[in-house]
Amino acid sequence: MTDGEALRAGRKAQITELGEVPMDAIEHHLEVVDQAIPDPERGDDVVVAIRSAALNWVDLMMTSGQYQHLPKPPYTPGLEYAGVVVKVGPEVRELATGDRVMLDGLLAGPRSLGDHQRWGGFASYAVAPERALIPIPGPLDFDQAASLLGAYETAYHVLLHRGRIQKGETVLIHGASGATGLAAVDLAKRAGCRVIATGRTESKLAVVAERGADHTLAIGNDEGGVRRFRDDVKALTDGKGADVVYDGVGGEVAYETLRCVRFGARYLIVGWASTPFVARGKGQRGAPNANVFPTNLVLMKGLDVLGCPAAIAAHKDPSLRKTRLGEILAWAEAGEITPHVGASFELEDIAEAMKAKWKSRMVGGCVVRPPALDSHG
């Protein structure tokens, strides 16, 4: 079957301008429109019919320009996707039509820095250079493949590269029911660590426990804040406190955590999901609401506080990715790691999906699925 017979025009989501905050962008500047069938723009380009695209926290922050990477509207969100190759440029050597592939979101898409930044995953089709596409490893389906790299590369960079976790250490993982949090639980257990995982509710933490966490702590209170959990962590560590902290939450969680770590612990900062609006909206730079970390506790606890930006670090030093990417793909190929996808939405429901993600209504990953438009795969 020829490309012309197999393909038909599709649909895509796009952000027409940046919002003051993500909900502003989603409610006023997000639209789903018709998408023509694209052609390769360069000789090494590949056109992918998208089957599934991961919806990440970063996708939300990008819509208001409050993330460090700033795509130029109009653009299609969706950092990561998986699908089927439907067209290839004349210089493509390794991929062919019908191949099942997933995107390396640091080399193309909204989180990348090159010419393919506008081609996000919330669409029927995307264009990416061949080097940015990876054959889907082992048993992963499209949803799982789209949800693999962002979560597991982040967790790997934080825990193994920056955190240098060691067998037998106790790792306290905050936000453990999210996509990267669950990946962190997986990798900490692979390294032989003892995991204490926290989240807002017992129901979400039940999934975290199934993924292998040794202990789970629901730390939300009835007022929507954070309860005191210092004594719980101390009790689970014979009064010593955690050796390593994986913190993608910040805010009140960070303050309480500093009281339940051992002297000399490593505190790994992954994000600040509980206080997202540190920067100005609409893509303005500066951080008028920058978080404040209690340096007196850092001093008295003798802590190593480490910033762990996986994407920024890789852009500045691409050599960091060789080991982590190779190991993650090998583990996935062998079926040793599998992303947990907790929710899926149709492309036409993208606004609903983004609002649900903002409110953390799901456990693990969330994906958006455009309608299948080709005969392959």
- Tell me the DSSP string of 18-53: --SSHHHHHHHSEEEEEEPPP--SSTTEEEEEEEEE
Q: What is the pLDDT of residues 208-217, one digit of tens each?
A: 999 999 999 9
Domain 3-148+339-369 architecture:
Alpha-Beta Complex (3.90)
Cα angle vertex 232, ends 230, 237, to 5°? 95
Q: How far is CA 114 from CA 126, 310, 317, in A?
A: 15, 18, 16
Neighbours of 374 (CB within 10 A): 23
Alpha helices, H only, 63-178? 142-146, 149-156
Predicted model pTM: 0.95
Domain ranges of the chain: 3-148+339-369, 151-314
Q: What is the pLDDT of residues 26-51, one digit of tens each?
A: 999 999 999 999 999 999 999 999 99
| Strand runs labelled E in 139-190 | 170-173
- Asked if the domains at 3-148+339-369 and 151-314 fall in one CATH topology, the answer is yes
Neighbours of 307 (CB within 10 A): 11
Read off the tokens for 59.
Answer: 């996708």
Report the CATH superfamily, name and number, of domain 151-314. Answer: Medium-chain alcohol dehydrogenases, catalytic domain (3.90.180.10)
C-beta of residue 173 within 8 angstroms of C-beta of residue 185:
yes
Q: What is the pLDDT of residues 127-186, one digit of tens each?
A: 999 999 999 999 999 999 999 999 999 999 999 999 999 999 999 999 999 999 999 999
Q: In whole angstroms, how large is the CA radius of gyration of the chain?
A: 21
Closest CA to 182 of 160, 146, 150, 226: 150
